[in-house]
Structure 1
Amino acid sequence: MEINNPLEVIIIGGSYAGLSAAMTLGRAMRKVLVIDSGQPCNAQTPHSHNFITHDGETPAEIVRKAKAQVLKYPTVEFLNDRVISAEKSGASFELKTESGKKLRAKKLVFATGLKDRMPDIPGFAECWGISVIHCPYCHGYEVRHQKTAMLANGNDALHFAQVLSNWTKELVLFTNGPISLDADQQAQLIKHGVSWIEAPLSHIIHQNGQLTHLVLKDGQEHAFAVMYARIPFDQHSSLPQELGCALTGQGFLEVDELQHTNIPGIYAAGDNTTMMRAVSQAVAAGMRAGAAINYDLIVESW
């Protein structure tokens, strides 16, 4: 494909935040290229919820519709590729892609998302996003009032129990080792009927990603159809940090209210910037980034 190079904006990541930013910029008649490698973190999630007009659709279908609408704007292009390097060059940024393309743009948007680090528990990855889930606002209604497992420990476990108690009163905490909540926190769990099991998990029994049993290393089996889990993550792309973008203490890209990073000309939006990992949040952040970029370009040429 022929790309109108140099560009005004390159958006790395073509999911919800990236496409939302592209639409905003396309409507501002900016020359934009969206680059996406086709590796979304929610690839096996069967349904997306809590996003009005799209409630219950598959994540892939939402992206398909969004991409079709965005590409109706003639100044927006899309490239299936992966950016492997990026550097500042004068007033622009120079990028190289896996396929060998060299690109230049005045502004960069990283809508690259996060990469979840799966625990070493056989069956976990196969269930992730299907019956082992992370967010009650995204998935909780569908599993409401069910006996529910939580995989967490420490302060995260207490917070998780508080939140999940809105959707079910049958909560069992699996700490996967010695519990690290203090006596007061344990008393709070007991007060609200939350029990816990400290024996480490051995593996998960499932059928095509649908959890049926949690198996402990001591041989015990516990029947559950759903489990929430808090697991660590990495930035899906290391390029922002290589360019000098700062991270928060939680590991997210640090941005202001208009999605500027600490590096002039670089913006970030979506899951890579916030613990609120939801389609609606990503779309809103992408729109803010697009509007901020357009305004910044106007001011620079005024």
Structure 2
Amino acid sequence: MTELNAAGTTEHDVVVVGGAFAGLSAATYLARARRTVCVMDTRRPRNRFADAAHGVLGFDGTAPVDILARARTQVAAYPTVRWREREAVRVEPQGDRFAVTLDDGEVHMARKVVLAFGLRDELPDIPGLPERWGHSVLHCPYCHGFEFADRELGVLYRMPSSAHHARLVAEWGPVTLYLNGATLDAQLRNELTAHGVSVVAEHLVSLEGPGQTLTHVELANGTQRRLEALYVAPESCLASPIAAQLGVALDHTPLGPIIRTDAHKQTSVPGVYAAGDIARAPHSVSWAVADGVTAATAVHRALIGM
């Protein structure tokens, strides 16, 4: 069981920072290994804006927050799990332990730490875009393409790989790549045209449509174009400063930084593991769950000296 040490600090085998898909997956496996686990979470998962998660085995079309609520109830039923609905603001090595401090000053000690606090998306500053994020402004066609199949689709140019993103989205319907003022070399433009992708150079002024739906976009030249879903690859950042505090190694990708881990999800700091979107690219619920399992089983083996 979780215990208090002589100084009144709570002791655990493992602290999991973040209670979304990767964190809860890790906590489940550690609890089933009868290890004491404390999950620290603020209930702000990255995909909370989406109405439904797709491609998740057994939960296709279920709201992410509903999947997490069910998982949270199941994890909390294990007797060795403790839940703190607070933000972890600092993790510090102390000998062979880690001190994890919450935003209310409470300190928890752990032999191992699993970071699973997720990413925060930085969306383009275009009127009408943020409020449609997760509804008609999307990222992954595998997650949300089927529901918009054969409708008017668009991809917002943000980086050179946006052209490849447009070719991928074209598998689901007619696509326009909106350069939003960027330039595209003639060869790449011809390649896109050959694959049926239209290219519009003008800046986007706004996204329009009732509520969170999208019907058309307004362009800087005063014209409108019909559009029912816009795919965007936003730049993302780590949602917590803890990685920087610990000094874990990072890899920098076109979509933002991720924490470098080995095959067992251990970071460059011994005893600290990372799982989910913060430690991989590309991202999905299923991959996050799998990474949580990988981290948890590696942590358990480390705890018993294997």
User: 1:246 aligned to 245, 249, 253, which one?
Assistant: 249
1:171 pairs with 2:175 = yes
1:109 pairs with 2:118 = no
Q: SS where residue 13 of structure 2 aligns?
A: strand
Residue 231 of structure 1 and its aligned partner are, at CA, apart by 1.4
The aligned residue for residue 193 of structure 1 is: 196
Paired residue type of 2:291: A
The aligned residue for residue 185 of structure 2 is: 182
User: 2:265 aligned to 249, 259, 267, which one?
Assistant: 259
Q: Is the 8 A contact 2:16 2:115 kept in 1?
A: yes
Which deviates more from structure 2 when the two are superposed, residues 262-271 or residues 34-43?
34-43
Q: Is the 8 A contact 1:127 1:206 kept in 2?
A: no
The aligned residue for residue 284 of structure 1 is: 290
The aligned residue for residue 76 of structure 1 is: 81
Residue 154 of structure 1 and its aligned partner are, at CA, apart by 4.5
Residue 265 of structure 1 and its aligned partner are, at CA, apart by 0.6
Counting aligned pairs with the same residue, the percent is: 35
The aligned residue for residue 222 of structure 1 is: 225
Q: Is the 8 A contact 2:155 2:177 kept in 1?
A: yes
Structure 1 unaligned spans of 5+: none
Aligned residue pairs total: 297
1:38-117 superposed matches below 5 A: 38-117=43-122
Q: 1:229 to 1:82 in 2, by over 3 A?
A: same
Q: Is the 8 A contact 1:30 1:75 kept in 2?
A: yes
Q: Is the 8 A contact 1:113 1:270 kept in 2?
A: yes
1:199-210 superposed matches below 5 A: 199-210=202-213
Which deviates more from structure 2 when the two are superposed, residues 19-28 or residues 221-230?
221-230
Which deviates more from structure 2 when the two are superposed, residues 185-194 or residues 47-56?
185-194
Distance of 2:108 and 2:162 partners within structure 1: 45
The aligned residue for residue 276 of structure 2 is: 270
Residue 238 of structure 1 and its aligned partner are, at CA, apart by 1.6
Q: Is the 8 A contact 1:148 1:227 kept in 2?
A: yes
Q: Is the 8 A contact 1:9 1:107 kept in 2?
A: yes
The aligned residue for residue 297 of structure 1 is: 303
Which deviates more from structure 2 when the two are superposed, residues 225-234 or residues 154-163?
154-163
The aligned residue for residue 216 of structure 2 is: 213
The aligned residue for residue 143 of structure 1 is: 148
Distance of 1:64 and 1:55 partners within structure 2: 16
Distance of 1:206 and 1:230 partners within structure 2: 21
1:25 pairs with 2:38 = no
Q: Is the 8 A contact 1:108 1:267 kept in 2?
A: yes
Residue 165 of structure 1 and its aligned partner are, at CA, apart by 2.0
The one-character-per-residue Cα deviations of 1:13-63 (angstroms, maximum 9, x if unpaired) are: 000000000000000011000000121121221000001100100001100
The one-character-per-residue Cα deviations of 1:109-143 (angstroms, maximum 9, x if unpaired) are: 11111100011111111001110000011111111
Runs of 4+ deviating beyond 3 Å: none
Aligned-residue CA RMSD in angstroms? 1.4
Distance of 1:276 and 1:91 partners within structure 2: 33
Distance of 1:291 and 1:266 partners within structure 2: 13
Which deviates more from structure 2 when the two are superposed, residues 205-214 or residues 260-269?
205-214
Distance of 2:194 and 2:161 partners within structure 1: 18
